[in-house]
Amino acid sequence: MSASAAGRSAAPIPEPRAWRALAALCVGLFITLLDQSLVAVSLPRIREDLDASINQVVWVSAAYLLTFAVPLLVTGRLGDRFGQRNVYLVGMAIFTAAAFACSMAPTIEWLIALRAVQGLGGSLINPQPLSIIHRIFAHDRRGAATGVWSAVASSAGLFGPVLGGVLVGTGGWRWVFFVYIPLGLISLVMVARYVPKLPTGARRIDVLSAVVSLVAVTGVIFSLQQGPDVGWTVWVWVVLGIGIVAFGVFVRLQRTAAARGTEALAPLGLFTRRNFTLGVTAVATLGFTVYAVNLPIMLYLQVGQGLSAQVAGLMLVPMGVISVIMAPLIGRVTDRVAPGRISRIGFSAMIAAMLSFGVAMHLEATVGWLLIPIVLLGFANSLCWAPNSTIALRDLPGDLVGAGSGVYNTARQVGAVLGAAALGAVMQMGEGTLGFGAAMGNAVLLPVVFLLVGLVAVSRFRESSTVTSATGA
């Protein structure tokens, strides 16, 4: 148990070094989250150059998303077991090498396979920065650090269409992958230099639980990915059913581990912590909204208003800029003001933004009117992400931060997949009967229902909590 205790009591490093470590970690966080929107811009050119079918080119993105999202529970726990720094470095090495290989891919089959490898690297990277933040920063500085993390995480996807358009337009689709190489190498060097080796737990990973969790998350995410694309056929429902059953088995395994006092992959004791449970609920609703809503907005700008892909992407830049500027400031405020109070304002602002988008699209408003909800959504993003992650994770003991981060990131990613599937279905159902603007408007109104759940969750945050053991029950 001494290793676990060490994990809980790891002292924060000097603040200047901690900020340099955070900068290094954010490079990797940025490129793994940038990928989905960046690569999406290049898909038409990839299809043309590699003579690919529509289904094949869809899998260039889907393969990455699947191998990125599915292992997050496991990769978060790997950070607890082997050290977040070490797992990050391995993940970044895989991600960068796979990006180089993708830039040289001779066929669409090779590209899809290499994208799956790249997604695995991203999955190893993604849970580690948030875990490290909560171990190297003092308790009263974690809000500021999480604000920077939030700015990077919430803005990465918004800059993808703009950067992707420039890269594809000037150098071709292979440059979309080639650009990752220098960024990955910079992150490797900086993380190796500035991120400290932190104490780790000595307990082994529960292999059976890991396998069952992979089956569960794969079944749910794969079926939700494929259902809207290929239709809800019998085999898609079977895969979804397998995922749901596997999830039930996974929960049973975690309960058994808790009863025996052995190490669980996702300790159910995490969910006895009120703020963690509420934070996971809230981040799932954020994932449902923020990642999925870009599609109806971009479609409305391009199809409904006749803008080019590049100009439509530029329309979203104010949202990203506001998030980048505001999120670190909000993070600093989070260290001084009750985070739950800020989260409530953020969720309320996001609901207002979605309602504004919906009304504008139903009325087929011009581009200028859409700038109002775009700016409002940028403010809402900065008010939601950092306070929510701070209050959900900052009081977890060191040996549970990786597991908590894995659960938190998995909830966000599953929410994103659910949002994409649900909004896609609403757009398809409404376009033929309601008209294009109304169909897009209904799609952006759907997340309001889920954001109300998130608002209720953050309204129930307990603003101060003490660190107690949650390793078992």
With a CB cutoff of 8 Å and minimum separation 6, the contacts of 240 are 219, 220, 223, 224, 227
pLDDT tens-digit series, residues 26-75: 988 888 888 877 887 788 788 888 988 867 887 888 788 888 888 888 88
Whether 98 shows a pLDDT value over 90: the answer reads yes
pLDDT tens-digit series, residues 435-462: 788 888 898 999 999 999 999 999 998 8
Q: What is the pLDDT of residue 4?
A: 40
- DSSP letter, residue 365: -
Which of the four pLDDT bands, split at 50, 70 and 90, describes residue 430? low
Q: What is the pLDDT of residue 466?
A: 40
Which of the four pLDDT bands, split at 50, 70 and 90, describes residue 3? very low
CB 195 within 8 A of CB 24: yes
Is the Cα dihedral 349, 276, 30, 44 positive or negative? Answer: negative
Q: What is the pLDDT of residue 407?
A: 87
From the list 56, 36, 45, the residue with the least C-alpha distance to 175 is 45
Q: What is the pLDDT of residue 422?
A: 83
In the chain, how many H helices and how many E strands?
A: 20, 0
Whether 300 shows a pLDDT value over 80: the answer reads yes
Q: What is the pLDDT of residue 296?
A: 86
Mean pLDDT within 115-144: 87
Name the more confident of 322 and 457. 457
Percent pLDDT > 90 in the chain is 27
Q: What is the pTM of this model?
A: 0.79
Q: What is the pLDDT of residue 431?
A: 62
Q: What is the pLDDT of residue 465?
A: 45
Which of the four pLDDT bands, split at 50, 70 and 90, describes residue 9? very low
Whether 291 shows a pLDDT value over 80: the answer reads no
What's the distance, CA 199 to chain centroid? 26
Whether 399 shows a pLDDT value over 90: the answer reads no
3-state secondary structure of 287: helix
Count CB-CB contacts under 10 A for residue 410: 27
Residue type, 468: T
Q: Please give the Cα distance from 328 to 332 (Å, whole number).
A: 6
Tokens coding 171: 């150098």
Name the more confident of 413 and 100. 100
pLDDT tens-digit series, residues 243-283: 999 989 988 888 887 777 777 777 788 888 889 999 999 99
Whether 402 shows a pLDDT value over 70: the answer reads yes
With a CB cutoff of 8 Å and minimum separation 6, the contacts of 323 are 150, 151, 154, 155, 158, 378, 381, 382
Which of the four pLDDT bands, split at 50, 70 and 90, describes residue 432? low
Q: What is the pLDDT of residue 398?
A: 66
CB 386 within 8 A of CB 331: yes
Whether 159 shows a pLDDT value over 70: the answer reads yes
Q: What is the pLDDT of residue 367?
A: 85
Give first-to-last CA distance, the chain, whole Å. 16
* Residue-averaged pLDDT of the chain: 83
